Structure 1
Amino acid sequence: MEYQAKYITEDIKLSCYEDKFFKSDVMFGQHMLIWFLSGETKIIRPEGSYLFRKGDIFLIPRNQLATIINYPKDGQPHKTVVMHLTTDWLRSFYAKQSVKPFTEDEQGIRHYSGHPLLESCLASLVPYFDMKDLPADLANLKITEAVTILRSIDQGIDNVLANFEEPGKIDLADYMEKNFMFNLPMEKFGYLTGRSLTTFKRDFKKIFATTPQRWLTKKRLDLAHYEFVQKKKKPIDVCYEVGFENLSHFSFAFKKQFGYAPSVLLAGEV
């Protein structure tokens, strides 16, 4: 995979994937505002899947789990302008505002495609990626502009951007049932459920009577079986959507679990 990135600062970048595809299970530590220049991205979240293409603008809130699958499209690479809205920057910004945010139960992806002011703000960044000597305080000015526009077009955005709480201890069983398809380190699952790694493993064993890895593997394979039977999806698509990193490992694990390969199931020979 050939990946290239150009930076105005570490918080504003032009991201480009030239190769066939890139997949990652991630938890973003900061809010990310993204504008698509070319290519295609499929984002899988507990509430469903999203497909983004050229011209789309969206914001992914921090501390949200997602599977990101990037593709080239129509002969063009996957290319995006990405703006990180960091907690430190937002704290400073909102210290000057009279805002009392409330915590939303679900902070899903927020869509802003087709808004001329926001698109103009992000498009104005592109020429700067090829400049060596940048105007002082450019990044701060552009991030301020973007956040100001977001606040004018999205009445609920302050509840996302001005919420600086860290994950508290939550219902472990409910969280894992909703997020098992994301292939993250156990430390991340612990953090997102408000637990240390040791406490996470201990609580998990009490609830599920098995180890996290064994439980996750079975849940992912059961979901894959359902996707094959009910939706007739391709193995390559199911593999990545349920949390596996490569097709060969997925096929091996699937056959070990069920006694037959995905191709046999799809052919109706079971």
Structure 2
Amino acid sequence: MDFITHYITPEIKLSEYNGKCFKTEVVFEHHILVWFISGETKIIQANAVYTFNEGDIFLIPRNQLTTVINYPKDGKPHKTVAMHLTPAKLKEFYRVNKPVGISQPLQKVYRFTKHPLLESCFASLIYYFDIGETLPSDIAELKIEEAIRILRSTDKSVDGILANFEEPGKINLSDFMERNYMFNMTLDRFAYLTGRSLATYRRDFKKIYNTTPQKWLTEKRLKLAHYHIFEKKRKPVEVYMEVGFENLSHFSYAFKSYFGYGPNMLALKSI
């Protein structure tokens, strides 16, 4: 099996992937703190692209559209340990630990590359994975609290995301879609993240764009792909997943249907 996940608690897991490439588009319901053991990950959000490699530690905030592309590298599998910082655990922590500064969602991935204290916190968990035992609940709670305290001591602004427990409210639909159209999410998820029911989302979308969400999303993604291939001189195989398509053949068919020529032909023209 290419993808294997081992849990030592519901909040702490080790994931290992040995295939060529694994892509997922997701909105995490919890903050995810990740320690990178081997391989490579590309994380794509609305305003930034991040690449992580062996030794990196990073925090992905919850309720943000995120494309995650995982690759094995240098003959090693893609291997990570991830800790879910759930709202319940964080609320319990901040009941007795006052947040520093203003609590607000910050639109970024936090990087804590090769931080010795965080590395030590994660490395101490490997023993439990190796022997296949469940981490006792009291120890698990201590490890999660340890990680939170290290994060706060490393970056004072991290309270702005960890201590914020608001759910998405109704926001400007056009602004949100223009920033996030490349994420291949369900319409239900787009509706939730803009603070709408699916019916209200469809109605509001029609008023703004005078077309369906599906048609608009496809056209926007194809135009973005065209820009990357022609202007940025990138290959179609490097682009199709980043702009929201699941496979190369579907992307090539849709591209040719829309523009009248295939992405490979455009790539030749751009040389």
Q: Which residue is equivalent to 2:58? A: 58
Q: What is the match of residue 120 of structure 1?
A: 120
Match of 1:91 in 2: 91
Q: 2:252, 2:63 → 1: CA distance?
A: 31
Give, as a single letter, the amino acid of the residue that structure 2 aligns with 1:195: R
Unaligned 5+ segments in structure 2 are none
1:15 maps to which residue? 15
**2 CA distance for matches of 1:68 and 1:161?**
21
Q: Distance in 2 between matches of 1:121 and 1:78?
A: 20
Specify the code of the residue in structure 2 equivalent to 1:215.
W
In structure 2, what is the equivalent of residue 260 of structure 1?
A: 261
Query: Are 2:14 and 1:6 aligned?
Result: no
8 Å CA contact 2:205–2:213 kept in 1: the answer is: yes
Indicate conservation of the 8 Å contact 1:229/1:266, yes or no: yes
Displacement of 1:16 in angstroms is 0.5
Stretches of 4+ moved more than 4 A in 1? none
Q: Deviations over 1:15-48 (max 9, x none)?
A: 0011111001111111000010000001111112
Amino acid at match of 2:76: Q
- Superposed displacement of residue 234, structure 1: 1.2
1:269 and 1:75, CA in 2 relative to 1: closer, same or farther beyond 3 A? Answer: closer
Post-superposition CA distance 1:137-195 (Å, at most 9, x none): 12111101000111111101111101000011111001000000000011111111111
Distance 1:43 1:182 in 2: 12
TM-score, normalised relative to structure 1: 0.96
Identify which range, 96-105 or 164-173, moves more after superposition: 96-105
Cα deviation for residue 55 of structure 1 reads: 0.2
- The answer for the alignment partner of 2:36 in structure 1 is 36
Q: How much does 1:269 deviate?
A: 8.4
Residue number in structure 2 paired with 1:200: 201
CA contact (8 A) 2:152 2:159 kept: yes
Rounded to whole Å, the distance in 1 between the matches of 2:17 and 2:98 is 41
The residue identity in structure 2 corresponding to 1:80 is: T
In structure 1, the partner of 2:227 is 226
SS at 1:144 equivalent: helix
SS at match of 2:269: coil
* 2:154 corresponds to: 153
2:237 aligns with: 236
CA distance in 2, matches of 1:204, 1:133: 47
Distance 1:257 1:107 in 2: 33
Cα distance in 1, alignment partners of residues 135 and 209 from structure 2:
55
Cα-to-partner distance string for 1:246-268 (whole Å, 9 max, x where unaligned): 00000000000000001111111
Aligned length: 270
Aligned to 2:186: 185
Give the Å deviation of 1:102.
2.7
